[in-house]
Structure 1
Amino acid sequence: MALFRVERTSALPVGECWRRVTRWRRHADTVPFTRIIVRTRPPDARGTVFVARTALGPFGFDDPMEVVDWRPPTEAGSAPEPDPGPAARARTGGAAEGWCRLVKRGRVVTGWAEITVRTRAGGSQVVWREDMRVRFLPRTCDPLLVVACRLVFGRALDSLLSTGTSAERER
């Protein structure tokens, strides 16, 4: 599998960064030839299912994903979520951090992705870790896949976290 990591910092608060990187449909605006269909009702949480369809003309594939863990950051004054247990607390590192894990369940692309958003001085840090396997692609191609994924996902995070108000970003 091709394991890669992309990190970005932002002046945005952790809650806004979380909102932007977990608006699954918005990812289609940043990944060429891709559209995203969320198959479950909002709000997003554990159990959310969505499909990224990447196609050029009649050639394409579906990348179905499921959110299997979901720990959004808590904001001051908001109701706390039920305690998920020590393992999840260890992963999130506290209330000012959000973490989710996606599992890719496709015929072509398999693996997992983890998104962490944490408070940093002057804003937030976003870390996207992913372990991806493309069926029918030999493992000798993994280093090239890692480079391509870092470019695509780095560009996606740059776009999702770019400045502008929430209302402007939703247009």
Structure 2
Amino acid sequence: MSGSVRESRVAVAHTCPAPAGRVWDTLVDWELHDRWMVLTRARGGSGEGARVLAFTGIGPVGFSDPMEITGWRPPSDDAPGHCEVLHRGAVVRGRGRFDLEPLPGGRCLVTWSEWVRLPPGPVGRLAGPLVRVLTASLFRRSLRNLGGLARRRSRSGRD
């Protein structure tokens, strides 16, 4: 396997203090990404087959992350939903997925999973653990931000 690309899964979960529908609406409103996702802004369409273009970085320094939505099922009050993307960029390649599960009391469990393709050989083996730790930390912070933003939007009645 020394010449093959390795895939590393990173997954974090967070209970958001807002209903699943409101969390979904906030999550897939790409123009809001810079308000909750650490170091990332985005724009794009909705529904399976739509394209999303994200940019991760500070100011002009960073990288583009073009994606295609490959799975799209909004949650209901009593049924889970998900948004899955395929990263097609030069820097980030692989799959990403958000699963939303409605919880009692107007809350929602969000699980964010990414399957990141690592370089082959020793670089990939060494980078894997570091990528997982750093990425998980940023994902946790982003999901806390998402929950807070969705809660504020829910209270304000904003659509």
> TM-score category by the smaller chain?
0.7 to 0.9
- Hey, what's the Cα distance between the residues in 2 that align with 1:33 and 1:127? 19
- Hey, what's the Cα distance between the residues in 1 that align with 2:16 and 2:39? 27
CA-CA distance at 1:11 after TM superposition: 3.0
Asked if 1 retains the 8 angstrom alpha-carbon contact of 2:13 and 2:111, the reply is: yes
Q: Aligned in 2, Cα 1:70/1:57: closer, same or farther, shift over 3 Å?
A: closer
Asked if 2 retains the 8 angstrom alpha-carbon contact of 1:108 and 1:134, the reply is: no
Residue 121 (1) aligns with residue 97 (2): no
Asked if 2 retains the 8 angstrom alpha-carbon contact of 1:109 and 1:134, the reply is: no
Residue 130 (1) aligns with residue 114 (2): yes
Q: Aligned in 2, Cα 1:143/1:28: closer, same or farther, shift over 3 Å?
A: same
1:152 corresponds to: 138
**TM-score computed with the length of structure 1 as normaliser:** 0.74
1:111 corresponds to: 94
Amino acid at match of 2:64: D
Amino acid at match of 1:164: R
Picking from 57, 65, 68, the partner of 1:66 is 68
Asked if 2 retains the 8 angstrom alpha-carbon contact of 1:117 and 1:126, the reply is: yes
Q: Aligned in 2, Cα 1:30/1:169: closer, same or farther, shift over 3 Å?
A: farther
CA-CA distance at 1:101 after TM superposition: 1.0
CA-CA distance at 1:3 after TM superposition: 0.8
- Hey, what's the Cα distance between the residues in 2 that align with 1:12 and 1:64? 29
Secondary structure, counterpart of 1:25 in structure 2: helix
CA-CA distance at 1:130 after TM superposition: 0.9
Q: Which moved more, 1:101-110 or 1:65-74?
A: 65-74
> Which deviations, in whole Å up to 9, do the C-alpha atoms of 1:73-123 show, x marking residues without a partner?
235xxxxxxxxxxxxxxxxxxx51111211000111101111111122222
CA-CA distance at 1:25 after TM superposition: 2.5
1:87 corresponds to: none
Q: Between the two proteins, what is the percent identity of the paired residues? A: 31
- Hey, what's the Cα distance between the residues in 2 that align with 1:11 and 1:142? 32
2:51 corresponds to: 49
- Hey, what's the Cα distance between the residues in 1 that align with 2:103 and 2:33? 24
- Hey, what's the Cα distance between the residues in 1 that align with 2:10 and 2:23? 20
1:18 corresponds to: 24
Asked if 1 retains the 8 angstrom alpha-carbon contact of 2:102 and 2:108, the reply is: yes
Which structure 2 segments of 5+ residues have no match? 1-6
Asked if 1 retains the 8 angstrom alpha-carbon contact of 2:71 and 2:85, the reply is: yes
